[in-house]
Structure 1
Amino acid sequence: MDVSADTGTRADTVAGTIGATVTDALVFLADNVFGQVPLLIGLITLAGLALQRKPVEEVVGGALRAAVGVVILFIGVEVFTGGLEGFQTVLADAVGAEPPPADRTLTEFLTLHGGTVALVLTLGFLTHVLLVRLLPAARYLYLTGHLMFWISTVAVAALVIAAPDADRLTLVVCGTAVVAAYWTLQPLWMRPLMRRVMPEDRFGFAHTSSVMCVLTGLAARPLRGRGARDTERIALPRRLSFFKDVNVSTALVVSALLLGAVAAADPDRVADLAAQTDPALSPWVWALLVGLRFAGGIAILLFGVRMFLAEIVPAFKGLSDRVIPGTRPALDAPAIFPVAPTAVMLGFVTATAVFLALLGLFAVTGWFTLVPPMIMLFFVGGAAAVFGNAVAGWPGAVLGGALTGLGLAVGQALTWGLLSGTAPELATLADPDWYLLVWLVAGVRPLLGGAAVWAVPVIGLGATVAILLALGRRERRTAGGGERNRSRTTGSG
C-alpha cells in the first residue's frame, strides 16, 4: 500500500473541499450582501451608528430608514423604467431598429461565467476596501451595489475577449484587479466636479457615467458663466411658470415624446403594449399614462434619495472615524439629482434627441442599427447635465445631454461587434465607462498577445497604488504648507 499516495489524495480532497467552501461563501456574499443594495446600505448605516455609540433606538431606526430609503428609490426606478421600456419598444418599432445578429447572448454568458462574476465582485470589493484602508488618499468607499455587479460582468467579458483560453483562476485574479482599481479611482477623478455640485464633500460619485461627466465638465468650460443661467433659476413667462415644477415638466415632455413615437410606430404593436395595461385602453391614452407614470417614478426616486442620504452620510462618520479614517461614501448618480432636477430632465431630452438623430444617420449610411437605450439615456444624460449645469448653467446641461447621446450611439456601434462572441447585449445596456473598460482590457490582446493578460492586474493595481501614493504625498505637502503659513501669521501677529 502506498501510504504517501493515499495521504496526498486525502490532502487534495481536503484542499478541494476548503476551496469549494470558500468559493461558496464568496458567491453567497456577492449574491446576498454586495448585490442587495438596501441590505448593504442598511448594514453600513448600522455599523456606522453603532461605532458612534448611538442609542440602540437610533441605530436600529437609522439603519432601517436608510434601507427603506434605498427600497423607495428602487421602487421609483422600477416605476419609471417600466415606462421607459415601453417607450424604447415603441421607438424601436417606429424606426425599424433591430439589434444586429450575434454569436452569443448575455444569458448564455452568465450561465457559463456567472460564478466567476460573483467571485470577481466579492474579491474586488474586499480589495477595494483594503486599498481605501491602507492608502488614505483613496478617500471614497464605492457603494453602488448593482453597478458593482455590472462592472464585474463587463470586466469578465472583456477578459474573455483578451484571453479566450484563460482558466477561471486567471479570470478571477485579473478581474478582481480591474474592478478594484476602477472602484478606487473612479470617485477620485470625479472629485473636482463633485466639489462644484457638493462643495461640502459629504459623499462621492459612484456611477459608470463618470467618463461622460468628466468630458462634459471639460467641454463646458468655454461656456462658463453659470449665475442666472442655472437651470434651477431660469426665468420663465408667467404663463409657462408651471414648467418650473419638475414633476409637471417631466410629465409634459415625456408624454409629448411618447405621443410622437406612437404616431410613427406600427398601430398593432402599440395596441399590444397598451393591452398589457388594459385591453380596453387606447394607445394614445396609454402614452399619456406612461408619461405620468414616468413623472411619478422620478418623484418617488427623489424622495427615496433624500431619505437614505439623511441616514447614510452622518452614519458613515462612525466608519470614517474608527475603521477607515477620513473615508466618505461614494453613491449612485440619483444622489445628485435633487441638486438640479430640471437639468436632469434637460439632459435626458437632449440625449434622446441626439441619439435618435444618430440612429437615423447610422441606418441611412448602413453603418449600424442602434437600439435606443432609454434607461441609460436618462441616467447618464441626467448625471452629465447636472455637472454641465454646475460648470456653465443650462448650456452646460444641454451639452452634457448632447455628448451623452453621441457617446452612447458611437459606443454601442463600436462595441457590439467586439462583444458578439461573449455578451453583446452589454453594448446596448452600457454606460460610457463600460465601453472604455472593454476597449482597454480587450485591447491587451492585439497589443501584447493573449498570454499577456496578466499585464492587466499588474498595470491596473500598480498604477492605482502609484496614483494614490502620489496624491497622498501632495496632500501632505499641501497640509504642511498650510501649517507653516498659519505659524508665520500667528508669529507676525
Structure 2
Amino acid sequence: MKILLYFINNVLSQPIFIIGIVVIVGMAAEKKSWDKILPSTLKAIIGFTMINVGGQTLGTALLPLQLMISRIFRVKAPNLTDIGATQASSLASIGTEMALIFALGFLVNILLARFTPLKFVHLSPHVSFFFAGMIAALLKFNTKLTIVPLVLIGAVILGLYMTLSCAYVNILIKPVKGADGFTLGHSSSSGLLVASILGKFLGNKDHDLEKMKIPKKLNFLREMTIALTIVMTLLFFFLGLFSGNGWIMQNVSGGKDIVVFSITKGVEFGMWITVIITGVRMMLAEIIPAFHGVADKLIPNAKPGLDVPLLFPNYPTSVIVGFLCSLTTGLIGMLILGAANYPVIVFPALIPTFFTGAVTAIFGNAHGGTRGAILGSCANGFLLIFGQALLLPLVGSFAPIMRILSETDYCVYGPILGFFLKAIGGA
C-alpha cells in the first residue's frame, strides 16, 4: 500500500508525467522513432512546466493583495500565505483517501472515454487531485462510510465529474478562438456554463471585447504582457495607497515603498504571463498531434481536457477584465456576508479569482461580447465567495486549502454534494 500511495502522490499527481506518458504513447501508437518521440516529449513537458510554474507564481504573487485588502476593508483575512504548509496540514487527515480516489477516479474517466460516447480524457491532474481531496473530505466528514466504500464512491463521483465537465465545456467552447482540438479539464466549468448562458441571452456577440476601439497610441495595451504589467502595477499601487505606505513597508513589501513594490510586482506579472504564453505554444505544438495517436489507436475519437491558460493568448483584454470583475464582486460578496454576520469568515480566494475570472470572461465574450464577458466574470465572483461560504463548514480539516484553491466547481458542486450527504442522513 505504501508503494502504491507513493506512486500516486509522487508520479500520477504530477502533471509532467501524465503529459509525458500521453506524448510517448501517442507517438508510439503512430510508430514514430525514438529520436522523434524524445524531443517531442521533452518539449511538451517543458511547455507544460512553463505554464504550471508561471501560473503558480502568478497566483502566489497575488497573495500580498490579500493582506492589503483585509486592511482596507478592516476584515481579518485568514493567514494563508504559506501554501505548502497549508496544503500539508489540510491533507493530514484525508491524504490516503484523497490519493486513492484520485487514482481510481482517473481510471473511471479512462474507462468512460473508452467504452461510452463521452470521449474526453481529463489531462489536468493537478486540478483533479485537489478535487479528489474535496470529495474525500465531504464523504469523510459528512458520512459514516468506512474507507473502502468511501474510496469507491468517491472515485465514481470524481470520474463522472472529470468526464462530464469536459463534455459540457466541449459544447460551450465551440465559439472560443484557439480551442481547436481540445476541451478544458478545469474546475471552472460551472462558471463557464453560467458565463456562456448569460452571454448568450443577455449579451451582444457583435461587440467583441477584444475588438474594442482604443486610440492608436494605446494599441500596445492589446499585448497581454504589457497590459497585465500596467494593470497589476496600478492595482498594487492604489491598494497600497489606501493601505498606507508605512504599513506596506513593514508588513507586505519587505521594506520597499509602494512605488518600487508596485512596479516590481507589475513587471513580475508581465514576465510570468510571458512564460505562460510561451509554454502554451510549446505544449500545444506537441500534445495535440500526439493525442491524435492515442485517439486513433487506443480511445477512438477522444479529445483531451487541458488547462485554461491555453486560451489566454487570444483573449488578453478578457483575462484582465475578468479578473478585475470577479475580484470586485468577490469583495462585494465578502462585505454582504460580513454585514449579515455570517458565522464563517470568508475572503476572496485570489488565485481562483484570477484564473476563473479570466476564463469566464473569455467564454462570456465568446458567447455575448463585452457585456457577456462582464456579466459572466461578475457572476463568477459571486459564485466563488458565496459558494466558499457554504463549502467551508462541510469539509472539516480540508478547509484551509479550500480558502486558497476553491475554484468555481468546488464552490458550486461541493456544497451540492455536501448538503445531499447531510440530507440522506450521512452525518
- Counterpart mapping for 1:250-329 below 5 A: 250-265=228-243, 267-273=245-251, 275-276=253-254, 279=255, 281-329=256-304
Give the Å deviation of 1:377.
Answer: 0.7
Alignment-derived partner of residue 352 in structure 2: 376
- In structure 1, C-alpha distance between the alignment counterparts of 2:150 and 2:225, rounded to whole Å: 45
Q: Confirm or deny that 1:128 pairs with 2:106.
A: no
- In the alignment, which of 85, 100, 104 is matched to residue 119 of structure 1? 100
User: Any gaps of 5 or more consecutive residues in structure 1?
Assistant: 1-22, 452-493
One-letter code of the match for 1:324? I
**TM-score, normalisation: structure 1:** 0.80
Contact 2:66–2:77 (Cα < 8 Å) also in 1: no
> Alignment partner of 1:220: what SS?
helix
Q: Confirm or deny that 1:432 pairs with 2:400.
A: no
- In structure 1, C-alpha distance between the alignment counterparts of 2:385 and 2:252, rounded to whole Å: 28
- In structure 2, C-alpha distance between the alignment counterparts of 1:305 and 1:139, rounded to whole Å: 23
Q: Deviations over 1:360-412 (max 9, x none)?
A: 33333433643131111111111101111111112111112211111112112
Alignment-derived partner of residue 412 in structure 1: 388
Alignment-derived partner of residue 110 in structure 1: 91
> Alignment partner of 1:325: what SS?
coil
Give the Å deviation of 1:100.
Answer: 7.4
> Alignment partner of 1:112: what SS?
coil
Q: Deviations over 1:267-292 (max 9, x none)?
A: 4542135554xx4x323311221122
Give the Å deviation of 1:55.
Answer: 2.7
Q: Confirm or deny that 1:194 pairs with 2:173.
A: yes
Alignment-derived partner of residue 243 in structure 1: 221
Moved over 6 A (4+): none
- In structure 2, C-alpha distance between the alignment counterparts of 1:293 and 1:325, rounded to whole Å: 43
Q: Deviations over 1:336-375 (max 9, x none)?
A: 2223121111111111122223323333343364313111
Alignment-derived partner of residue 14 in structure 1: none
One-letter code of the match for 2:168? W
- In the alignment, which of 134, 138, 148 is matched to residue 154 of structure 1? 134
Contact 1:152–1:179 (Cα < 8 Å) also in 2: yes
Give the Å deviation of 1:435.
Answer: 2.3
Q: Calculate percent identity across the aligned residue pairs.
A: 27
The structure having more radius of gyration, on CA atoms, is: 1
> Alignment partner of 1:371: what SS?
coil
Alignment-derived partner of residue 363 in structure 1: 338
- RMSD of the TM alignment (CA)? 2.2
Contact 1:47–1:318 (Cα < 8 Å) also in 2: yes
- In structure 2, C-alpha distance between the alignment counterparts of 1:107 and 1:244, rounded to whole Å: 40
One-letter code of the match for 1:143? L
Alignment-derived partner of residue 200 in structure 2: 221
> Alignment partner of 2:305: what SS?
strand
Q: Confirm or deny that 1:174 pairs with 2:149.
A: no
Alignment-derived partner of residue 139 in structure 1: 119
Contact 1:154–1:437 (Cα < 8 Å) also in 2: no
- In structure 2, C-alpha distance between the alignment counterparts of 1:435 and 1:79, rounded to whole Å: 23
Contact 1:250–1:294 (Cα < 8 Å) also in 2: yes
Alignment-derived partner of residue 333 in structure 1: 308
> Alignment partner of 2:397: what SS?
coil
Could you tell which deviates more after superposition, 91-100 or 209-218? Answer: 91-100
- In structure 1, C-alpha distance between the alignment counterparts of 2:349 and 2:266, rounded to whole Å: 17
> Alignment partner of 2:71: what SS?
helix
Give the Å deviation of 1:32.
Answer: 2.6
Give the Å deviation of 1:200.
Answer: 7.2
- In structure 1, C-alpha distance between the alignment counterparts of 2:422 and 2:227, rounded to whole Å: 49
Give the Å deviation of 1:90.
Answer: 1.9
Contact 1:106–1:424 (Cα < 8 Å) also in 2: no
- In the alignment, which of 94, 98, 107 is matched to residue 76 of structure 2? 98
- In structure 2, C-alpha distance between the alignment counterparts of 1:332 and 1:238, rounded to whole Å: 33
One-letter code of the match for 2:42? L
Contact 1:98–1:370 (Cα < 8 Å) also in 2: no
Q: Deviations over 1:453-481 (max 9, x none)?
A: xxxxxxxxxxxxxxxxxxxxxxxxxxxxx
- In structure 2, C-alpha distance between the alignment counterparts of 1:62 and 1:273, rounded to whole Å: 45
Contact 2:348–2:384 (Cα < 8 Å) also in 1: no
Give the Å deviation of 1:245.
Answer: 2.1
Contact 1:259–1:284 (Cα < 8 Å) also in 2: yes
Q: State how many pairs are aligned.
A: 419
Alignment-derived partner of residue 395 in structure 1: 371
